[in-house]
Amino acid sequence: MSYAELQSSLQELHLDIFGAFHPTPLDQVPDGCKTLLLIGPYEPGFWDTFKVSPEFSDGLPDPLDRWSKRIITPWAIIRNATALFPSDGPPYAPFLDWARHSGRAWVSPVRMLVHDHAGLFVSYRAAIALPVEINLPPAGPNPCDSCDTRPCKSACPVNALANAYDVSACKSYLNGPNGRDCMETGCLVRRTCPAGRKYARLPEQSAFHMASFNPQ
């Protein structure tokens, strides 16, 4: 089982490895885990795959979380691995800490994570606790180090990410007269990040996440 083999079998499912590391006792991973993989959507194509799934149109709650579990859990089981999911909780698994430990995601100037490939559009569908240590490729550089203008810092019309995430300021704006842009095409802060431009995240996918964050 090599990194390349794992990545290519995930990509066939429109998923990708967004980071990986060899855990220490401080990482709160399942017993026996020798490598933790962080899994995210593989673009382009992820959204089209999800849209034709039964979960997308069955009208039941949490369609994307249910899709993730149906697809990722068996993939893990046949590799003697354990799948963990970010929305299972509380208590929630420490995905933000794991992401930082992977060396491929950093705390951005607006506090949310920024990723070397997905920029501020990073989100994780699952983590996989593997029982074997696999060789990992080197991580990329932090995109903020070469981003001189830092447009994320001024993109939110109500400064909701200036300090701690001000969820009520964000939602008031979303539900006011000017909130449609964020609701229909995604958070302006996340969209403004140049690091995520090559990561083909579709506006309709962002609209789906915004509707689940702020149901109308």
**Contact residues for ligand B12, defined by CB under 6 A:** 86-87, 92-93, 95-96, 111-113, 120, 122-124, 161, 165, 167, 170, 187, 209-210, 213
Tell me: does residue 131 bind ligand SF4 (CB under 6 A). no
Least distance (Å) between residue 33 CB and ligand SF4? 30
Alpha-carbon span 111 to 173, nearest angstrom: 19
The residue whose two tokens read 């996440």 is: 209
Nearest to ligand SF4 of 13, 169 (CB atom): 169
Distance separating the N- and C-terminal Cα atoms of the chain = 45
Interface residue with ligand SF4, options 85, 98, 143, 208 (CB under 6 A)? 143
Residues 158-177 that bind ligand SF4 (CB under 6 A): 158, 160-161, 170, 173-174
Alpha-carbon span 137 to 4, nearest angstrom: 9
Tell me: does residue 81 bind ligand SF4 (CB under 6 A). no
Answer whether 158's CB lies under 8 Å from 169's CB.
yes
Nearest to ligand B12 of 2, 168 (CB atom): 168
Tokens of residue 9, six digits: 């079998």
Contacts for 155-164: CB closer than 8 Å, 24+ residues apart? 155/188, 155/189, 155/191, 155/192, 156/110, 156/187, 156/188, 156/189, 157/188, 161/110, 161/111, 161/112, 161/189, 162/110, 164/111
Nearest to ligand SF4 of 158, 200 (CB atom): 158
Least distance (Å) between residue 27 CB and ligand SF4? 25
- Residues paired with residue 83 on neighbouring β-strands, in sequence order: 128
- Rounded to the nearest 10 degrees, how much is the dihedral formed by the CA atoms of 133, 13, 87, 27? 10
Least distance (Å) between residue 143 CB and ligand SF4? 4
Tell me: does residue 105 bind ligand SF4 (CB under 6 A). no
Tell me: does residue 130 bind ligand SF4 (CB under 6 A). no
> Which of ligand SF4, ligand B12, none sits in contact with 156, Cβ below 5 to 8 A by type?
ligand SF4
Nearest to ligand B12 of 17, 170 (CB atom): 170
> Which of ligand SF4, ligand B12, none sits in contact with 111, Cβ below 5 to 8 A by type?
ligand B12
Helix (H) or strand (E) holding 168: helix 167-174
Residues 60-79 that bind ligand SF4 (CB under 6 A): none
At 21 the three-state DSSP class reads strand
